[in-house]
Amino acid sequence: MRTPLAWLNTTSSIPKLILASAGIGFAVILMFMQIGFLNGLFDSTVQLLRLLKADLVIISPARYTVPSEQRFDYGLLQRAYGVDGVVRVQPLYLDRSMAEVRVIGNVSRSIRAIGVPLDGDVFLDPVMNSKCKLLGDANAALVDRKSKLKYGFEKRDLDRLRNQEIELSGKKVEMKEWVEIGTDFVYDGSIVVSERGVENFFPFRNGRKPPLAAVDLGLVVIDPKQDKDTVLKNLQERLGEAVHVYDRELLIRREIGFWATNTPIGIIFSIGTVMGLFVGVIICYQILFTDIHDHLGEFATLKAMGYGPLYFLRFVMLQSFYLSVFGFLPGWLASWGLYIWLADLTGLVMTLTPLRVLLVFMLTFLMCTISGALAVRKLWKADPAALFK
C-alpha cells in the first residue's frame, strides 16, 4: 500500500494546518463576499418581480427599467381579457417620486409605494396576500421589514409599529403589518397600500386624470393548458405598440442585464473577485513554498532515489487540493454567517445558492492549483548533491 505522503505532510502539524486554513479561508471569504454583493444587488433589483403572481407582465415601452415611472392606460388591461388563454389581469401601481414617508422623530425620506388591488392575489406567497386583505382602509399600509433603519420603522414589536406616528405624502398612515420585499439599487424601503390608498396618498400621480387610470405594471395570469408564447404573441398583437408584453422570467433577465451593462457594479465586484483570487494565490503559494523549503532534505532524498518531476508535481498538487478543502470549509461557513448578517442589516437578497458555492470552490481549487504549479518549480530546480553538502 502506498504511503499517503501528501496527506501526512499536510496534517503533520495541526497548528500549521489551522494557520494555513485560516489564510486560504480569508481569500475564500473575499471571493464569497464579492460574488454575494454582485448577485445580491442583481437579485434585489428583481426581487419584487419574483414575488409577483404573473406569467406575463405588461409595461410601457418607455419603461427602460422597472423603477422608472413610465405608465400606460388602465383601459388596455380590460382589452387583454379578449385574448384566449388569459385568466386574470391585475394592475400594479408603483410610486417613488411622490412617496415621502416620515416616522415622527425622523426626517422625511423617499420610499417605494406599491399599490395592489384588494380583490385579487397579487403575490405568490399566500401569507403576503392575506396581509394585503388588511388594507381595507384608505390610510392603511404594510411596511417592508427589510427597509433600512434610517426610516425609523419598528421591526420587532408589532404593537409598537401600529402605534408609531407615520405620515405618507403628508397624510397620516396606519401600519398594519410587516411584509418582506427587500432593498435594491433604487429603493431603500417599501410600503404596500391598496388601490384606495393610491388614490388617497397620490391623487396627482396621473396629473389631472384619475390616479388609478395610469398603471405601472399589468400582471397577467394565463391558463396553464395554453402555450405561453402563443398567448404572449396574441396579447401583444391585440394591445398594439402602446405597451410591451414580457414573459416574467424574460423581464427579470432584462432587468438584470440593464443593471449589469449600464452601471459599473458588475465590473467593480468582478474585479474584487479576481483580486480575492490573487490574494489566495499569494497566500497559498507562500504556504506551499515554506513547506517545501522546510522539507528540502526529505525531498532531496526522494529525488536521489529516482523520483522524477511528475511525482513531485502530483505530490504538490495533491497537497494543494487538501489545502483548498481545509481552507474552503471554514471560509464557506463564515461567509454563510456574514450573508445572513448583511441581509438583515442592508435588506439585500444575499443567497448562497449551490451554484455559487460550487463556483467559489472551483475558484479556490484553481487558486491552490496555480500556487502549487508555481511552488513545485523549487523542487524541480533543487540539486540533491548540493543539498547534502
Q: How many CA atoms lie within 13 A of 270 on its CB side?
A: 7
pLDDT score at 88: 93
Check whether 100 has a pLDDT greater than 90.
Answer: yes
Against a cut of 0.85, is the pTM above it?
A: no
Q: What are phi and psi of 228, to 5 degrees?
A: -60, -45
Q: How many angstroms separate the CA atoms of 218 and 77, rounded?
A: 7
Q: How many angstroms separate the CA atoms of 161 and 153, rounded?
A: 7
Three-state SS for 231-270 is: HHHHHHHHHHHHCEEEEHHHHHHHHHHHHHHHCCHHHHHH
Q: What is the pLDDT of residues 314-335, one digit of tens each?
A: 878 888 888 889 999 999 999 9
pLDDT score at 381: 67
How does strand 112-116 pair with strand 190-194? parallel
pLDDT score at 345: 81
Kindly indicate the confidence band of residue 2, based on its pLDDT and cuts at 50, 70 and 90.
low
Q: What is the pLDDT of residues 332-388, one digit of tens each?
A: 999 999 998 988 887 778 888 899 899 999 989 888 888 888 877 766 766 655 555
pLDDT score at 388: 52
Mean pLDDT across the chain:
87
Question: What is the mean pLDDT of the segment spanning 198-219?
Answer: 92
Q: How many angstroms separate the CA atoms of 382 and 322, rounded?
A: 24
**Dihedral angle computed from the Cα positions of residues 178, 182, 183 and 185, in that order, rounded to the nearest 10 degrees:** -150
Check whether 126 has a pLDDT greater than 90.
Answer: yes
Residue whose C-alpha cell reads 454563510 in the numeric block: 336
Q: What is the pLDDT of residues 167-202, one digit of tens each?
A: 999 999 999 999 999 888 788 899 999 999 999 999
Cβ atoms 190, 112 nearer than 8 A:
yes
The domain limits of the chain are 5-45+264-387, 61-242
